[in-house]
Structures are given as structure tokens and as C-alpha cells.
Amino acid sequence: MLCKDIIKILEKQSPESYALEWDNVGLLIGDCNKEIRTIYIALDATDEVIRQAKEHKADLLLTHHPLIFKGLKKINTDDFIGRRIITLIQSDIAYYAMHTNFDVLGMAELSAQKLNLTETKVLSVTCVRDLKAEQAEGIGGLGKLSESVSLKDYAKNEQEEGIGRVGKLSESVSLKDYAKNEQEEGIGRVGKLSEQMSLKDCVGQVKAAFSLAQVQVYGELTQKVHTLAISPGSGKSAIEAALQAKADVLVTGDVDHHMGIDAIAQGLAVIDGGHYGVEKIFIPYMKQFLEEQTKGEGITVFGQAFEEPFVYC
């Protein structure tokens, strides 16, 4: 398949138009007419990821976070971003990023379903979808995957099937929205846990759902929680939204000291699973999505094995 054909598939899942204004998504490096036989998926385009993509003889590197984010005035080997861009070009590897467009149409609903949340609503609304128009264009890939495989199983072998069935988006769409053919979308979700539980038990569910060895918790482990907000990635802007949604606990990443203690003071517990720890679900999901969407086309898809970008000592 040509690169532009792969892009059409990716656009059906998470159109670039859903990315936030400040973001940089899409085909950032390469020729859209390039023939694609092998795809490598990771969260970030690090030196190690690019090396692995080369080892797998990838024609296309797909990541969640964009390598090119801020403006570039020079591309040379004096800068680590420039070196990576040059390496990708020299290796004839096209590069595509799905960032906040996937956060809006993908990551939010996927993360909520990992925790089996019900009565879900968008945590931070960024847009309103025209469902009728999108259905005509075949947009909205969630809910089309086959049997599910846990993150724990994926971690054992990066070539296994990814985390699977991403369920019905209709759960968070009211009858009124259906009548209008419109649906709010955005960053994160807020919903109900299966039952009221202690914060400690909630932490256990989060660790199991996202295959996390440890998390950072702000709040009393004995306190009761029922309404949970989740915002994968950096939670700096999610705390206020979680408070407005009257959540008991927020699951996110990159929570610093002051954010954490300020959240507690306002009655919100926080579970910090790490930026990578929660967003890594992008890798197996997109691996399975692309495998199913390109079935019979001779495309091989690899996903990076889970590996935190730091170690605890």
C-alpha cells in the first residue's frame, strides 16, 4: 500500500482536524507516495525507537507524540531533533504522528473502557462531532476491533494482538444528541466505577488495567471513591476539569507536588500512573487497528515493547 493509503486509514480513526490548534500531527516526514510494507509503532520517536524501526526494516514510523513540535530553523546533526529527522530521511522511513487528534478520538474513550467506567461523559470538551457526516465518510474507528488482549499479555510479546474491543461510543451519547446527529468530544472522560470503593482498591484496579508496577497517589487510601475522571498524559489542566465534574479521583500523569496537594485540599484524590504509563495503550490499540484495516494487503505491523523512559532506584 502507498503511504497516502495508510494515512486515509489513520484519518478514519482520528482525523487531523480533531487535533488541538497548537498541535502538530499527520505526515511530518516522508513521501506520501512511498510504498509501505512494514509499520513500526511507538509512543515517542526517540533514538532507540528509530533504531528499532530500522532493525525491523520499517517503511513507516507511527508515534503518538510528534517528533517535530516547535518551529525548526535548522535541521542538522548539532541538534538531537535534527539528527533524528536526518536519520529517518536517510533510512527512507516515513514518519506520522497522531497526538491530540487521537487523544480526542481514541485515547479518552479507550482509557475509560479499560477501567469499565459507566455513565461516561467528556471531561474537557474540545469540539462537537457531526455523526451523520462522519458516518458517510467512514470516520470513527473505535468499536471495530476483535477479541481483546490485556496490556499484560501484550507486554510479554510486542507482536501479539493488541488490547482489543473498544466498545460502544453510544454509552456516552444521549438520545437528544442522536436526534441532533451531534456528539461532544474532547480530552479525557469522567464516569462511574463499578461500585463505590476505597481509594486503595481503586489504585489496584488502575494498576491492573494499565499494567503499572507502581503509581503515585495523593489522598487517603481509606477514603471512598465512585466517580472517576481519567485524562491520559499530562494532568496539569485536568484537575480543574475533574473538580468541575465532581469527580472523587483523577487518573492522569505528570502531577507535581503542588498540583497534588492542591487537589487534595479541594477534595480530589489523584492517581498518577505516569505520562507513559497510561498513554502506552496507544501502541497495542493502533497495532491491532492497522492489522485489521490492512488485512490481506501484505502489511506487517510491529509495536514497541513496553519500556518506561526512566527507572526507579
Give how many domains the chain has, as a whole number.
2
Assess if residue 172 is contained within a domain: no
14 and 56: one domain?
yes
Considering the domain architecture, whether residues 199 and 268 belong to the same structural domain is answered as: yes
Same domain, 213 and 293: no
Q: What pLDDT is attached to residue 245?
A: 97
Residues 65 and 22 in one domain: yes
195, part of any domain: yes
Residues 251 and 297 in one domain: no
Q: Are residues 284 and 264 in the same domain?
A: no
d(CA 149, CA 252): 23
Alpha carbon distance 285, 163 (integer Å): 6
The reported pLDDT for the residue numbered 230 is: 98
What b/e sequence results for 53-77 when a residue is b if at least 16 CB atoms lie within 10 Å of its CB, and e otherwise? bbebebbbbbbbbbbbeeeeeeeee
Question: 3-class SS at 128?
Answer: strand
Q: Which domain holds residue 263?
A: 187-275
CATH number, domain containing residue 51: 3.40.1390.30
Residue 200 lies in a domain: yes
**Of 168, 264, 258, 254, nearest to 225 (Cα)?**
264
pLDDT at position 156 is 54
Q: Are residues 264 and 293 in the same domain?
A: no
3-state secondary structure 72-127: CCCCCCCCHHHHHHHHHHHCCCEEEECCHHHHHHHHHHHHHHHCCCEEEEEEEEEE
Same domain, 214 and 284: no
Asked whether 239 and 260 are in contact (CB, 8 A), the reply is: no
Count Cβ atoms within 10 A of the Cβ of residue 137 and give its class: 0-12 exposed, 13-18 middle, 19 or more buried: exposed
144 in any annotated domain: no
Cell reading at 51:
533504531
**Cα 282 to the center of its chain, rounded Å:** 4
227 shares its domain with 293:
no
Beta bridge partners of 185: 127
Q: Indicate whether 137 belongs to any domain.
A: no
pLDDT of residue 133: 72
Cell of 7: 494515512
What is the pLDDT, as a whole number, of residue 164? 32
Beta bridge partners of 177: none
Q: Could you tell me if 9 and 49 lie in one domain?
A: yes
| Distance linking the first and last C-alpha atoms of the chain | 45
Examine the domain organization and report whether 234 and 290 are in the same domain: no
Could you tell me if residue 17 is inside a domain?
A: yes
In a domain, 161, yes or no: no
Q: What residues are paired with 303 via a beta bridge?
A: 41
Give the pLDDT of the chain (313 residues) as one tens digit per residue: 999 999 999 999 999 999 999 999 999 999 999 999 999 999 999 999 999 999 999 999 999 999 999 889 999 999 999 999 999 999 999 999 999 999 999 999 999 999 999 999 999 999 988 777 777 676 664 543 444 445 666 655 543 333 333 333 444 445 455 446 788 999 999 999 999 999 999 999 999 999 999 999 999 999 999 999 999 999 888 999 999 999 999 999 999 999 999 999 999 999 999 999 999 999 999 999 999 999 999 999 999 999 888 888 8
Residue 134 falls inside a structural domain: no
Tell me: do 55 and 88 sit in the same domain.
Answer: yes
